[in-house]
Amino acid sequence: GEDVEQSLFLSVREGDSSVINCTYTDSSSTYLYWYKQEPGAGLQLLTYIFSNMDMKQDQRLTVLLNKKDKHLSLRIADTQTGDSAIYFCAESIKGGGADGLTFGKGTHLIIQP
Amino acid sequence: ETGVTQSPTHLIKTRGQQVTLRCSSQSGHNTVSWYQQALGQGPQFIFQYYREEENGRGNFPPRFSGLQFPNYSSELNVNALELDDSALYLCASSSGTEATGELFFGEGSRLTVL
């Protein structure tokens, strides 16, 4: 079955880079996503990558995909206190969400001053 | 442009009861998905509705059912509530034509079953 794994916590100093890692098992995954959830809020899409891409950069965010190892990472440059949240990795086969997204359990990003 | 709104925000039910949760999709979106997020877990896909028809379903029993209305708003109904149904229920809307499948989530309805 499909499975998405993430480490539960990551602590970084303000101004440093944060790297959040994710592994998935379904080789049919076509779309891979990173969502952010702040306390008491719904999920916000940060970025996504197609499985035929290796890297995607969007301002402070860099997504790396190693399809051979089924490994996805999200790098946040110059981490700020406002980046404190839970970050979810998710995958989908069909895109459009028709098969639903499969989410990991989320990584709590903790920012130290 | 209004975002995704859900109601109620919090509710408490007892085991065996039934609950209806409501969702208004973002303007221009014709697809609604429902997810269950238990405490400390990632969201789990319940089902998706596209133009009033169920378009896909996750691994949830038939006592989880839904509806989508002509204005694309949606309801999630859960019958015979169990303690394990306690969770945050998230609604997400999207445009059915978007290949990226970007979902716009509401803030959720937190259900507690006693």
Which chain A residue's Cα is nearest to B5?
A42
Q: How confident is the model at residue B101 (pLDDT cuts 50, 70, 90)?
A: low
pLDDT in the model for residue A96: 62
Average pLDDT of chain A to the nearest whole number: 91
The pLDDT tens digits of the residues spanning B22-61 come to 999 988 888 999 999 999 999 999 999 988 999 889 999 9
B8 vs chain A: nearest CA distance in angstroms? 14
Q: Is residue B6 over pLDDT 80?
A: yes
Residue A32 backbone dihedrals phi, psi, to 5 degrees? -125, 135
Q: Cβ–Cβ of B107/A43 closer than 8 Å?
A: no
- C-beta atoms surrounding B114 within 10 Å: 10
Q: Do A4 and B90 touch (CB under 8 A)?
A: no
A-chain residues near B42 (CB < 8 A): 4, 88, 90, 103-106
Query: Is the pLDDT assigned to residue B92 strictly greater than 90?
Result: yes
Q: What is the CA radius of gyration of chain B?
A: 13
Out of B42, B47, B58, name the one closest to residue A106 (CB). Answer: B42
CA distances A20 to A34, A89, A98, Å, are: 10, 9, 26
Contact A42 B55 (CB under 8 A): no
Residue B62 has pLDDT above 80, yes or no: yes
> Residue B43: is the preceding peptide bond cis (ω within 30°)?
no
- Predicted confidence (pLDDT) per residue in A29-62, tens digit: 888 999 999 988 889 999 999 888 999 999 999 9
> CB of B29 within 8 A of CB of B93?
yes
- Residue B95: per-residue pLDDT: 83
Triad B35, A24, B37: Cα angle to 5°:
20
3-state secondary structure of B57: strand
Distance from CA of B23 to the nearest CA of A (A): 13
- Nearest by CB to A42, from B47, B48, B108: name it: B108
Cα of A52 to nearest chain B Cα, Å: 14
| pLDDT at res. B38 | 95
Dist. CA A64–CA A67, nearest whole Å: 10
Task: Give yes or no for B55 touching A (CB within 8 A).
Answer: yes
Res. B110 pLDDT band, cuts 50 70 90: very high
Cα–Cα distance between A47 and B102 in angstroms, integer? 9
Closest chain B C-alpha to A79 CA, distance in angstroms = 23
**Hey, are the CB atoms on A96 and B45 less than 8 Å from each other?**
no
- Inter-chain touch B101–A95, beta carbons under 8 Å: yes
d(CA B69, CA A105): 32
| % of chain B with per-residue pLDDT over 70 | 93
Q: Is A32 exposed, middle or buried (0-12, 13-18, 19+ CB in 10 A)?
A: buried
B8 half-sphere exposure, CB direction, 13 A CA radius = 9
Residue with the larger pLDDT of the pair A107 and B100: A107
